[in-house]
Structure 1
Amino acid sequence: MRLALTDLYRARWSNQIHEEWINAVLRNRPDLSRAQLERTRSLMNAHVRDALVDGHQPLIPALELPDPDDRHVLAAAIKCGADLILTFNLDDFPEQALSIYGLGAGHPDFFLVDQLNLDAERVCMAMRQHRASLKNPPKTVEEYLVTLGPCGTTPLSSEHVVPGPVVAPPWRRRHPPRHPRTSGCRPPGGFERCAPLRRRRPWAAGHRSRGPGGRNRAGRNRAS
C-alpha cells in the first residue's frame, strides 16, 4: 500500500479481493473487528486513485485457472488492463493461462527488488514512512526488518529504512517473462491481482493471501 502511494505503479483490486483479505485477517487476528478492517478498506479505496475494479464479473465463467476460485482475480486484471498479477502462489496463475491475455504473474519479493532498482529513493522513503506509522507498538529498525521475514520479502538492510542517503541495492533486476500482447486484448494486472504500472512494467500488484497458513491471494494492474 505504501508503494502504491508513491506512484511507482498503479495498484488495482476488486471488492471480492477486499473480502478475501478481510476474511483472512479475521481468521488470523481475532483481536481485530470487521469494522476496523472495513475502515481500512475504505481508506484504501479513498487514497489509491482509481483502484477499485468493477464490471469484470461477466468474464469469470470463460476463464480457466487451476483453482476456479481465483478466476475473479484474472478477470479483474483483464478488465483494468493490468500488466502483472502479484502473488505468493505463482502455481495458481500459470504462464500459459495468463500469456494469452498479455499478463504475467510475479512474486512480491521480486517486485520489491524491481521497484528498488527503478527508484530506490522513493521505495526506501515509503518503507521509512511505514515504519514510522507503526505506533502500537512502535518498532525499531531491526524489529521492522524482522516483521518483513514472514511476508516472504527480500532481506533488506537497515540503510533502507532509516533516514539518510539512499544507495541503490546491489541486487540484479528480476523480471517475469514478457508476453506478447494479444490482439484486441489489453494486458491485465492489479493490486490484488490487477493494476497497471505507471511505467508499464511487466508487473501487476495484487494477489494476496488467505492468511499465514493459507494460500496467498491479493490484488494488483498489478489486482499489496
Structure 2
Amino acid sequence: MLSVFLDANVIYSITLTDVLLTLAEHDLFLPLWSPNVLQEAQEAASRTLPDAAQQAFRKRLIMMDQAFPESSIHVEESEWSQFDLPDPDDRHVLAAAAQGKADALATRNIKDFPQKLLDSFSIQVITPDDLLCVLLRRNPEATASAIRELIDSRHRPPINIPDFAKRLERSGATQFAAAIAHIRQPLGNHSYFDQ
C-alpha cells in the first residue's frame, strides 16, 4: 500500500484532511505524520483561527491521531540534524518521512524538499492535489465511492458534489476538484462516473 507522509500545511486544511483520511479509511493509502507535524499544524491554527475554532482543531488532531495509531512516526531531534534543507525547520518532516519509510511526502512547499535529496530515501515529493489525482487514477471507483460517502455523511449542513468540489478547489486541490465534480450516484453496479 502506498504510504504518504503529510506535512503540516496539508493537515491544516480541514477539507483536504477530511478527504485524505476518508481515502485512508478505505485503504487507498496509509497516511503518516509525526507529533511535531501535528504540533506545527496546531501552532498555525493558533495564529489564524479564533479561540473556539482552535479548540475544535486541537480536538480534531487528537481524534485523527487516535483513529490512525500506526500513522504517527516519532523521531528524536538528533535524528534530523543531519539533513540539509532550504528551510532547516523542515528537517523533522524529512526525518519522520524517512523513518516511516514513506513512498511520498505530500506538501504545499515542494521547493523546500529538493527531490534530489529525497531520492536518496526513495521518497517522492508531491502536492496534495497531485496525491489525490494519483489515488483517483489508481482506483477511480473506490476513490469516487469514498468521496460520495463523505459527502453523503454531511448533514449539518448538507453539501452536494459541486459545492464540495468548490471547497476542494479553494483548498488548492484544483485538478482533483475538477475530476470529482462529475461523480454521480451509481445505479446498481454501474460506475460512479459518466462513461
Shorter-chain TM-score range: 0.7 to 0.9
Q: Provide structure 1 residue ranges, at least 5 long, that are not aligned to the other structure.
A: 171-224
**Alpha-carbon shift at residue 14 of structure 1 (Å):** 0.7
| Shift >6 Å, 4+ stretches | none
* Equivalent-residue separation in structure 1 for 2:167 and 2:144 (angstroms): 16
**Alpha-carbon shift at residue 123 of structure 1 (Å):** 0.9
Q: Call closer, same or farther: CA 1:124–1:56 in 2, change over 3 Å.
A: farther
Q: Provide structure 2 residue ranges, at least 5 long, that are not aligned to the other structure.
A: 1-20
**Alpha-carbon shift at residue 17 of structure 1 (Å):** 0.7
SS in 2 for 1:159: coil
| 185, 189, 195: which one aligns with 1:163 | 185
SS in 1 for 2:28: coil
Residue 18 of structure 1 pairs with residue 38 of structure 2: yes
SS in 2 for 1:7: coil
Q: Which has the higher contact order (CA 8 A, sep 6+)?
A: 1
**Alpha-carbon shift at residue 64 of structure 1 (Å):** 0.9
Normalising by structure 2, what TM-score? Answer: 0.77
> What is the match of residue 35 of structure 1?
55
Q: Call closer, same or farther: CA 1:24–1:64 in 2, change over 3 Å.
A: same
Q: Comparing both structures, which one devotes a greater share of its residues to helix?
A: 2
Report the AA paired with residue 179 of structure 2.
L
The aligned length equals: 169
| 68, 75, 78: which one aligns with 2:98 | 78
* Equivalent-residue separation in structure 1 for 2:48 and 2:156 (angstroms): 18
Report the AA paired with residue 191 of structure 2.
V
> What is the match of residue 208 of structure 1?
none
Q: Is the 8 A contact 1:116 1:168 kept in 2?
A: no
Normalising by structure 1, what TM-score? Answer: 0.68
> What is the match of residue 48 of structure 1?
68
* Equivalent-residue separation in structure 2 for 1:157 and 1:51 (angstroms): 26
Q: Is the 8 A contact 2:185 2:192 kept in 1?
A: no
**Alpha-carbon shift at residue 52 of structure 1 (Å):** 0.8
- TM-align CA RMSD: 2.2
> What is the match of residue 12 of structure 2?
none
* Equivalent-residue separation in structure 1 for 2:131 and 2:141 (angstroms): 16
- Identity of matched residues, %: 27
* Equivalent-residue separation in structure 2 for 1:113 and 1:141 (angstroms): 17
**Alpha-carbon shift at residue 56 of structure 1 (Å):** 4.2
